[in-house]
A and B are shown apart, each in its own frame.
Chain A
Amino acid sequence: MNPPVIAIGELHGVFKWLHELLVSIGLPEPLQNIVMYGALGVTVFSVLSLFALFLVWWERKIAAHIQQRFGPMRVGWHGWYQTVMDALKLLQKEDIRIETRDKIVFFWAPIVCFVAAFLAYVAMPFGRGLIVADLNIGILYIMAVTTFTVISLLMAGWGSNNKYALLGGMRSAAQVVSYEVPMVVSLLAVILYTGSLSMVDIVEAQSGWFNWFIFRVPFGPIAFVTYTIAAIAEANRTPFDIPEAEQELVAGYNIEYSGMKFAMFFLAEFVNMFTVSAIAATVFLGGWNGPWLPSWVWFLGKTLLMVFFLMLVRWTYPRLRVDQLMEFAWKFLVPVTFANLILAAILKHYGLYWE
């Protein structure tokens, strides 16, 4: 196995140093690779956790300023490390476990959720050359892995032995599964034009001015809009946040979780939001393409723009009722996305668009 490919000078330097250190110690080759991949994993994990913490703070600030108030202000300048303090607080809380819970399922649900949220970043291009593994089925892998969260929701609902939680879990599972279809199909409509499922190829196909898939009218914007709507539903956010709607059944599937387990669900939700925004930025907004600035700045900027849009939508719109939600998915989004796919295929077949 080759050592992992990581570009940007410094990081390559650190990993190269680590690799040489391991060689000089005399570790056998498989162990060397394990340690190297481990180090890589830790790096990606910590960077993402920091992003998740930042996103929680940012959401609270944006919500507050839309509502003409300040948000967190006390803990650091404008409350920047509020999330860290909240995480520490959750860490020291009692882990309440009900007697009648299903022990294995209850225990593993938050872990599955947390792990599933991070798995997608194996194939996520953070910048030119900054990808952990350039799988040739990149986007398919990401789509497959983001569905694991459904299992964890069902496990949480079932393991809590609580009818509220079960209702919440079932609704949430139905919602996520229903919105997978329009999400994948709208991505397909643009991936037709790249000829490959690899994330790096998708981004490369959008290099140059105005080559971004969102600008490829007519199928590009339609695919973008339907993807965004499906992404909001995947991330369980308003207007599709029935599973966690406080006004209805007081926090759905994670109602019986406290302390660090709850923190895992909470952080996994924000990592999920970052994931779907990153996919949108990669596939529709051109990934790390852009002049002058380093590529990872562009990637981050576009992702955060999508995240901002998601937050704005959350704090503006009311929520849909669960049957209206399902109706919207199956009766509106699925036909529209399929029609869009067919349109894109026809346009490509007759050569009406550049490659």
Chain B
Amino acid sequence: MAKLRTEEFLVNMGPHHPSTHGVCRLVLTMDGEKVVHIEPVIGYLHRAIEKICENRTYPQCSPMMDRFEYVTAMASDHVYALAVEKLAGLEVPERAEYLRVIMVELNRIASHLIFWGVTAMDVGAYTPFLYGLREREDIIDLFEMTCGQRLTYNYIRIGGVSQDIPDEFVPKCREFMDKLWGKFADYEGLLNENPIWLVRTKGIGVLTAEKAIAFGASGPVLRASGVDYDVRRDDPYSIYDKFNFEIPTQKNGDSYDRFIQRIDEMKASLRIIEQALDNLPEGDIKCKVKPKFKPPAGEVYSRIESARGEMGVYIRSDGSTKPVRVKLRGSSYNHLRLVPEIATDVLIADLVTIFATLDIIMPEVDR
């Protein structure tokens, strides 16, 4: 029987689209319902952060780093501060380190809650989005109580943190953590075992471990494919070597595993925060930084484990008050390259699922 000749057509899943996270344009070549070729077109959210930083002094670059990845702004601030401190040889007081860890882990939970909600919404369940945001409201209330802002915190500075936590932070944080532990039963009952969810995400977009490593994937995407690598444990920075935390991994590397992986990571983060709150020392929150800050000439690359993967900052300095070159490495850039790899020859609904579970956000891609 002769095969029916069909014609492929181009569809633009354009920058304005409800389910590309941010402004990403995907030019799809489709054969009926199946996607044959994907070409991402990026640059719609480019704000020239790296270039701007070349004309700002080191303390003035901190607010810029918030905007590099605004969903986990604490982590972005953190990686920059770590890089500058490494360059200048500054030693951060212990209380500041503990506070940093608490804030970064809280931000990781907030980011994973957004991921959970948005992925569910992309696959079609609208309610988890609101539930995730409801929990996140508590987290950013904690942040607002400490540093004054809800999204672009400018809290983690070179040498420490900018302000000490108020008295009501610790009780409120513990209250939030108890509440969130109780909510996991709800979250898992809503989607994890739902047969519709299983049939939509199991076996979709399988990413093997070799491919993940070859494409430079990191973070939950890598761990969901079975590779046990976490920058916090394998290349420790800050005081992560003092904490006792497990790194969950999954086996199959499909969309379902990437989804479950981040829920497990939320639980691991909660345990880290608990340990940090229990052992929070007294002391300074910032080391003495010269007002006209001039690190020695040299270059440094520092990386952290952010919610999406490995986030890195490379700084080259010539001894003046402004950096010569700041290069930002975001994990979503590498993960976006995975999309044509694992989302070809799938139906368009699966493309949406895969794009959502890779947790790609455009500010990290475009900077």
Residues of A in contact with B (beta carbons under 8 Å apart): 63, 66-69, 163-164, 167, 238-239, 241-242, 245-250, 315-324
The answer to whether B229 has its CB under 8 Å from any CB of chain A is no
CB atoms of A315 and B126 under 8 A apart: yes
Known: A315-B126, A322-B33. Is A163-B19 also a contact (CB below 8 A)? no
B residues 14-29 with Cβ under 8 Å of A? 17-19
CA distance A24 to B197 in the complex (A): 66
CB atoms of B348 and A317 under 8 A apart: no
- When distances are taken between beta carbons in the complex, the residues of chain B under 8 Å from A316 are 125, 127, 190
CB atoms of B11 and A163 under 8 A apart: yes
Residues of B in contact with A (beta carbons under 8 Å apart): 9, 11, 17-19, 33, 120-127, 130-131, 134, 190-191, 194, 196-197, 199-200, 347-350, 352
CB atoms of B125 and A318 under 8 A apart: yes
- When distances are taken between beta carbons in the complex, the residues of chain B under 8 Å from A315 are 126-127
CB atoms of B124 and A247 under 8 A apart: yes
CA distance A168 to B26 in the complex (A): 20
CB atoms of B349 and A322 under 8 A apart: yes
CB atoms of B127 and A247 under 8 A apart: no
- When distances are taken between beta carbons in the complex, the residues of chain B under 8 Å from A239 are 124, 196
CB atoms of A67 and B127 under 8 A apart: yes
Known: A68-B134, A238-B124, A247-B124. Is A318-B194 also a contact (CB below 8 A)? yes
Q: Given B9, B191, B349, which contacts A321 in the complex, CB threshold below 8 Å?
A: B349
CB atoms of B130 and A248 under 8 A apart: no
CB atoms of B200 and A318 under 8 A apart: yes
Distance of A326 from chain B, by nearest CB (Å): 11
- When distances are taken between beta carbons in the complex, the residues of chain B under 8 Å from A63 are 126
CB atoms of A318 and B123 under 8 A apart: yes
Q: Given A66, A67, A164, A318, which contacts B196 in the complex, CB threshold below 8 Å?
A: A318
Give the residue among A63, A317, A319 with the most B Cβ atoms within 10 A. A317
- When distances are taken between beta carbons in the complex, the residues of chain A under 8 Å from B120 are 318
Residue of A nearest to B133 (CB): A67
CB atoms of A319 and B123 under 8 A apart: yes
CA distance A56 to B153 in the complex (A): 41
CB atoms of A321 and B350 under 8 A apart: yes
CB atoms of A318 and B17 under 8 A apart: no
List of 10 A-B pairs having minimum Cβ-Cβ separation, nearest first: A319-B124, A67-B130, A318-B124, A318-B125, A247-B19, A318-B123, A321-B349, A246-B18, A247-B122, A247-B18
Q: Given A167, A249, A317, A323, which contacts B124 in the complex, CB threshold below 8 Å?
A: A317
Residue of B nearest to A238 (CB): B124
CB atoms of B18 and A250 under 8 A apart: yes
CB atoms of B347 and A249 under 8 A apart: no
CA distance A66 to B210 in the complex (A): 43
Residue of A nearest to B9 (CB): A163
Distance of B192 from chain A, by nearest CB (Å): 12
Give the residue among A167, A248, A315, A321 with the most B Cβ atoms within 10 A. A321
Distance of B181 from chain A, by nearest CB (Å): 19
CA distance A245 to B353 in the complex (A): 13
CA distance A250 to B350 in the complex (A): 16
CA distance A11 to B136 in the complex (A): 55
CA distance A318 to B124 in the complex (A): 4
Distance of A320 from chain B, by nearest CB (Å): 6
CA distance A147 to B197 in the complex (A): 29
- When distances are taken between beta carbons in the complex, the residues of chain B under 8 Å from A250 are 17-18
- When distances are taken between beta carbons in the complex, the residues of chain A under 8 Å from B18 are 246-247, 250
CA distance A317 to B195 in the complex (A): 10
Distance of B201 from chain A, by nearest CB (Å): 9
Known: A68-B130, A247-B121. Is A317-B194 also a contact (CB below 8 A)? yes
CA distance A179 to B131 in the complex (A): 32
CA distance A169 to B125 in the complex (A): 22
Residue of A nearest to B121 (CB): A247
Known: A67-B130, A69-B130. Is A317-B125 also a contact (CB below 8 A)? yes
Give me 27 A-to-B residue pairs in the complex whose CB atoms sit less than 8 angstroms apart, sorted by A's number: A66-B127, A67-B126, A67-B127, A167-B33, A238-B125, A239-B196, A241-B124, A245-B124, A247-B18, A247-B121, A247-B124, A248-B348, A248-B352, A249-B348, A250-B18, A316-B125, A316-B127, A317-B124, A318-B123, A318-B124, A318-B191, A318-B197, A319-B123, A321-B350, A322-B33, A323-B33, A324-B199
Residue of A nearest to B201 (CB): A318
CA distance A242 to B196 in the complex (A): 14
Give the residue among A68, A164, A319 with the most B Cβ atoms within 10 A. A319
- When distances are taken between beta carbons in the complex, the residues of chain B under 8 Å from A324 are 199-200
CA distance A323 to B200 in the complex (A): 11
- When distances are taken between beta carbons in the complex, the residues of chain A under 8 Å from B19 are 247-248
- When distances are taken between beta carbons in the complex, the residues of chain B under 8 Å from A317 are 124-125, 194, 196
Residue of B nearest to A323 (CB): B347
Distance of A230 from chain B, by nearest CB (Å): 16
Given contacts A163-B9, A320-B196, 9 further A-B contacts (CB under 8 A): A67-B127, A68-B131, A68-B134, A239-B124, A245-B124, A250-B17, A317-B196, A321-B200, A323-B33
CB atoms of B352 and A247 under 8 A apart: yes
Q: Given A163, A238, A249, A320, which contacts B200 in the complex, CB threshold below 8 Å?
A: A320
